[in-house]
A and B are shown apart, each in its own frame.
Chain A
């Protein structure tokens, strides 16, 4: 399917009809909520007592921590099930799309993200797959030897050895694929050379 054909299909797709009554009521509902002061006027300043804010903030932190802790466990499962970085074609095509600019393709709790260099200064080499789990969640990435990358709260440099082995150098640990048992802070690390030819 060509891109133009796909776009044409996408644009042909129509939305479910919104009932006329709903369309008419919609602005009235907004106005009603504005008039009931549910929303501050654009120029209004907040005079809520600081204590309320402080209490709200504290409650928010506790709830966010609880949700974050819980969702972290969920994300681990999801990432395992749908690790897009296993798709070598995607990696190859991304590298072709941004030649010598791809520093990493990262998959973490925020989804799939591309880290590009501003310049075409990433040396051509075989991509390296790295996956780090810290007990709560897992992050994975595809990067290249010599790149310094932030992953799972760790800043680390990824290095490829001539024999195909991988070394990860973090702030407080060094990990090697030949001796993978020495991961710091109970990190579970996997790394492998994907053996793709770069363009």
Chain B
């Protein structure tokens, strides 16, 4: 079966994984773990939750591997699973703990000042992302960080392209307000 994977090697690894070879799947995990960890971290803001979600992404992907028909890149397909699991996670967390995005952002910025971020700009940006509603954050993660077009992001999020454009537009507006005091000249 012809699948749209990143390389011939990747296609081969997918086929081997489908044949029940976990080591081949481990190789796919190695190739894509950085991207998936980045997505789940940007969506959750917590290294522990991001790690756990990233594991869930790869386990879910393995279970659904036969359904990957190659209509998109394998990385895009994985990213879709990551975003959807992250959105489900956010819903669960909100219900369980009554987490409000503002509260979450404050926890990051106040209780845990460094949170392992390499610099203040990185910490501020993540805190600002946390202030966005989850669907808007997902739209920014996909279009800005994963360089997806609005059409691709719409497929990932299961909504129309116009909805993605609107979410990105609205998210940018909020982010500009939240990050306005960061030095522009450094950009």
Contacts and interface: CB of A to CB of B under 8 A. Distances in A.
Nearest to A74: B98
B166 A97 contact: yes
A33 B122 CA distance: 33
A3 B179 CA distance: 12
Given A1-B176, A5-B187, A39-B59, A93 B125 contact: no
B116 A30 contact: no
Interface residues of B, number: 64
Nearest to B100: A78
A13 interface: yes
Query: Chain A: interface residue count, which band?
Result: 35 or more
B144 A26 contact: no
18 contacts: A6-B172, A9-B182, A10-B175, A13-B121, A14-B119, A16-B41, A16-B115, A18-B37, A26-B54, A27-B29, A27-B33, A30-B26, A30-B59, A31-B23, A38-B59, A42-B62, A97-B166, A97-B169
Interface of B: 17-18, 20, 22-23, 25-27, 29-30, 33-34, 37-38, 41-42, 47, 51, 54-55, 58-59, 62-66, 94-95, 98, 100, 115-119, 121-122, 124-126, 133-136, 140, 144-145, 160, 162-163, 165-166, 169-170, 172-173, 175-176, 179-180, 182, 184, 187
